Amino acid sequence: MLVGTWHIILWSRNLLITTIADLDILIDKLEASQPIKTEKTFYEWVKDPPDVQCPQLTILSAEDSTKFELAYRLGASGRAKSIIGKWDRGIDGEYLWRLAPTLSMQLCVSYGETPNPALVDTIVLTEIGSIPPCDNVIVLSKRFDPTHVSSVRDFLEERHVESAFNKLVKIHCTMNEINTNTITR
């Protein structure tokens, strides 16, 4: 079901300022051959979240344990970043997304590929290992046109997927960037 390349079109703000910010820092450390630690520095705690643009998730196979690649660009600099890790499927339908040696997320599919036109070629993953549980959301889609993103967001707002303190954030990416596949490493 999840095999292939997906655009990340929406995600929860808390996910961005915690997990994705941590991942961005870890990628920098891995590139610089610096040690990976579970503790954060004061700078890492107060640093603004990255301006992630055009994130793509590629899941390589339908096996219970497979590799994935997460690739994105940073807004102001346009610098491309990516990481390869493991994507494990549990026996009860949950997924363990091992983003980095010290960073992982436990996810389940909340909505996906239903007859609803808002969710055609779209999968909504919920982080079940977060506190509070099921508060963080990642929306994957094969399509990235603005009309589709808006209809998915409307669908999720109707179902109260976001909270007042954890809004869904639209991902910035232009159609030209998607069509020319400008994420290069």
* Residue 114 binned pLDDT confidence (cut-offs 50, 70, 90): low
| More confident of the two residues 174 and 114 | 174
What tokens were used for 180? 């020319």
Closest listed residue to residue 35, CA positions, set 92, 100, 79:
100
Q: What number is the average pLDDT over the span 1-27?
A: 92
Answer yes or no: is 128 within a domain: yes
For 153-178, how does the pLDDT look when each residue is reduced to its tens digit (9 = 90+)? Answer: 998 998 888 888 899 999 988 755 55
> CA of 180: how far to CAs of 174, 177, 184, in Å?
10, 5, 11
**Whole domain around residue 80: which residue ranges?**
4-179
Answer yes or no: is 37 within a domain: yes
Answer yes or no: is 77 within a domain: yes
What tokens were used for 96? 């363990």
What tokens were used for 118? 């808002």
Answer yes or no: is 185 within a domain: no
**Domain total in the chain:** 1
Closest listed residue to residue 82, CA positions, set 74, 71, 73:
71
Q: What is the CATH number of the domain that holds 100?
A: 2.40.128.20
Tokens 């292939």 sit on residue = 4
For 40-66, how does the pLDDT look when each residue is reduced to its tens digit (9 = 90+)? Answer: 778 778 788 899 999 999 999 888 899
